[in-house]
A = this chain, B = another copy of it.
């Protein structure tokens, strides 16, 4: 975009740069920051001294391997844990969890609750979230920490401004104004995020070697979810959180999907779809509400043991995912794929039919087949991604702009 640029935008941008290298590597001397950013030593000196007096950075005294060198020792700088705190909330089927996280990224306190989301009204869900967040806000107040951001992750679709839960399989209600509700209650800016997008953020932060500027994270559980990084940016559609991979069409007028339509990929590859196919219940059978992990594991074991309806069910799931990836790759080009969630435990069953289907599509035509990685445990990733999302917002949008006394409310300012 062509936007106007002012003199001080330069400083803002370079503060961002410094904060982003520090967020990636926890502890860095000014010399190392100079090397990693490409800024001149004088500029790094100016920026870090600003950030130190704003209380955003702190000096870390460490008797490390530094002492063995000759000249003036480097002083390690790091993100000041007390500079701020964020609250990361994960709302999932029948469960709610939230954590207060300091600016360095460490969890201070976390809360969990079980709740019957399907039976609750939108207002009840909002009230539950508000109550749990309230506890954490109180905790932050007690510890004298400023909370400039809250991020909420859930399975489903948000609006363009990441403020409203438009639709989610965890509730029958639509258009729940979660962002506005929390913002009104606590006066803290809130974003509402798709869980798979947060998985992508977490993978990118954790392992940029495998999950770098371009990759796709697919969550296999009761339904399907997807988060993508495209050219270094979290991919969001033109309007909402986008990325409804599970509801791309696989078979026109095909199997009944949880969304009410027919032939979606999820209607073949979601747990409920594998279950009903393995039990030979027919494509029109309404999706089961939830299927225990142990039952899915038993299905997988049966599929591994002998050829039969179970194996064919996993075959169909693999085919659906393979054709879907093929269509996705036709638009976006192939990229590494992370298979996350409980379904990754059956990836051995899914892999071959998936690759066979993928090879039948144009996605495999002009390019090499991408790598696949699996990780069965999605909740830690969602939590970590959600926290990271909130923290990088603070880095970029709050602490990067020097003016307007960002130190207000900051714990102690290191002078």
Shortest Cβ distance from A164 into chain B, in angstroms?
A: 11
Q: Is A332 an interface residue (CB 8 A)?
A: yes
A338-351: CB near B (< 8 Å → 1, else 0) gives 00000000000000
Measured in the bound complex, the distance between the Cα atoms of B10 and A240 in whole Å is 32
Q: Which A residues, 310 to 334, have Cβ-Cβ distances below 8 Å to chain B? A: 319, 323, 326-328, 330-334
Q: Is the CB of A244 within 8 A of B5?
A: no
Q: Which A residues, 180 to 233, have Cβ-Cβ distances below 8 Å to chain B? A: 213-214, 230-232
Q: Please, which residues of chain B bring their CB within 8 A of the CB of A330?
A: 244-245, 247-249
Q: Is the CB of A361 within 8 A of B249?
A: yes
Q: A167-B366, A238-B230, A331-B331 are in contact. Are A6 and B2 (CB under 8 A)?
A: no
Q: Please, which residues of chain B bring their CB within 8 A of the CB of A262?
A: 360
Measured in the bound complex, the distance between the Cα atoms of B363 and A248 in whole Å is 8
Q: Is A408 an interface residue (CB 8 A)?
A: no
Q: Is A1 an interface residue (CB 8 A)?
A: yes
Q: Is the CB of B20 within 8 A of A10?
A: no
Q: Is A55 an interface residue (CB 8 A)?
A: no
Query: Which one of B3, B247, B365 contacts A17 once the chains associate, using CB atoms below 8 Å?
Result: B3
Measured in the bound complex, the distance between the Cα atoms of B243 and A199 in whole Å is 25
Q: Is the CB of A38 within 8 A of B4?
A: yes
Q: Beyond A2-B16, A259-B365, A261-B365, list 8 extra A-B contacts (CB 8 Å).
A: A2-B13, A3-B13, A4-B37, A237-B331, A248-B331, A249-B326, A251-B252, A331-B331
Shortest Cβ distance from A357 into chain B, in angstroms?
A: 7
Q: Is A385 an interface residue (CB 8 A)?
A: no
Q: Which A residues, 110 to 127, have Cβ-Cβ distances below 8 Å to chain B? A: none
A249-269: CB near B (< 8 Å → 1, else 0) gives 111110001010111100000
Measured in the bound complex, the distance between the Cα atoms of B261 and A330 in whole Å is 13
Q: Please, which residues of chain B bring their CB within 8 A of the CB of A261?
A: 360-362, 365
Q: Is the CB of A362 within 8 A of B252?
A: no
Q: Please, which residues of chain B bring their CB within 8 A of the CB of A20?
A: 2
Q: Is A39 an interface residue (CB 8 A)?
A: yes
Q: A247-B361, A361-B247 are in contact. Are A237 and B333 (CB under 8 A)?
A: yes
14 contacts between A and B (CB under 8 A): A5-B13, A6-B10, A7-B10, A239-B333, A239-B334, A249-B250, A249-B327, A249-B362, A251-B251, A252-B323, A253-B360, A261-B365, A264-B362, A331-B331
Q: A2-B17, A232-B1, A242-B332 are in contact. Are A357 and B252 (CB under 8 A)?
A: yes
Shortest Cβ distance from A32 into chain B, in angstroms?
A: 15
Q: Is A335 an interface residue (CB 8 A)?
A: yes
Q: Is A14 an interface residue (CB 8 A)?
A: yes
Q: Is A367 an interface residue (CB 8 A)?
A: yes
Query: Which one of B242, B259, B335, B367 contacts A331 once the chains associate, using CB atoms below 8 Å?
Result: B242
Q: Is the CB of A333 within 8 A of B366?
A: no
Q: Is A157 an interface residue (CB 8 A)?
A: yes
Q: Is A9 an interface residue (CB 8 A)?
A: yes
Q: Is A166 an interface residue (CB 8 A)?
A: yes
| Most chain B beta-carbon neighbours within 10 Å: one of A237, A357, A363 | A237
- Closest B residue by C-beta to A18: B2
| Most chain B beta-carbon neighbours within 10 Å: one of A247, A264, A319 | A247
Q: A7-B10, A361-B247 are in contact. Are A328 and B326 (CB under 8 A)?
A: no
A127-163: CB near B (< 8 Å → 1, else 0) gives 0000000000000000000000000000001000000
Q: Is the CB of B332 within 8 A of A237?
A: yes
Shortest Cβ distance from A135 into chain B, in angstroms?
A: 32
Shortest Cβ distance from A257 into chain B, in angstroms?
A: 8
Q: Please, which residues of chain B bring their CB within 8 A of the CB of A249?
A: 250, 323, 326-327, 330, 360-362
